[in-house]
Amino acid sequence: MARDNSPKIRQRAHLARKQNQRASYDRVLIVSEGSKTEPLYFKEIKNTYRLRTANVEVHPCALGTEPIQVVRYAEQLFEKGAPHKRVRAKGFEKVFAVFDRDDHQSYFDALKIAESLDRKLRNDANQHVSFRAIASVPCFELWLLLHFEDVHHLLHRDEILRRLKQHMPGYSKGAGQSFAATKQCLNLATQRAKNLNALSSTFDDTMPSTAIVELVTLLVELEN
């Protein structure tokens, strides 16, 4: 049977080869607690800024939703890779474990383990790897809410969702398009998040904070 060599087929093959080519910037592995909301958000950033798949990998945790499971899976995925997911072992310069405070029992242990792994792992170029916990107190949606209003004290996640839906009526976890809906206010959210983080840290769960701003800033600036 003759091979289909139509322009559309050739174009798709060209785009796939281009995406699989590694760019000059750091290779980044992102592992998230959430199975939909956070992966979709970061993948949307990837697509918006045309970041190479060979450089930026985003995967939900396959071990569970506890923070310690997210950190351990990020470590495992980095060390062993996953051929079926096209993740190359040790093929990154930066690893991020993304999770929420919520009511998780392993939250503080996860933060400590992530700290202990930072600059301890080595990649395929024998370089020390940055390993960071990207935690939010109380939840990822705080980051989205900061695009629309300031937050000065700790709120329950239900209240954050209620306020967020006033600005994004169609918002629901796993729905996607969150970056497109908030992108125009990204600079404002960045400043608000930095102001919050300057007053607290992810180890202090009595104050709102979100390290999502660090990861988003990195992704947006990768090719700049």
The domain tally of the chain equals 1
Would residue 34 count as lying in a domain? yes
Report H helices in 21-66: 37-48
In residues, how long is the chain? Answer: 224
Would residue 3 count as lying in a domain? no
Would residue 17 count as lying in a domain? no
pTM comes to 0.88
Would residue 8 count as lying in a domain? no
- Non-local CB neighbours of 167 within 8 Å, separated by 6+ positions: 145, 147, 148, 149
**What is the rounded distance in angstroms from the CA atom of residue 97 to the CA atom of residue 32?**
6
The whole domain housing 65 covers 24-221
Would residue 5 count as lying in a domain? no
If one compares 22 and 118, the residue with the highest pLDDT of the two is: 118
The pLDDT score that the predictor gives to residue 6 is: 63
Would residue 9 count as lying in a domain? no
**Structure confidence by residue, pLDDT tens digits, 30-48:** 999 999 999 999 999 999 9
Would residue 103 count as lying in a domain? yes
Q: Chain-wide mean pLDDT for the chain?
A: 90
For residue 217, give both structure tokens.
């800033």
Would residue 10 count as lying in a domain? no
The pLDDT score that the predictor gives to residue 3 is: 52
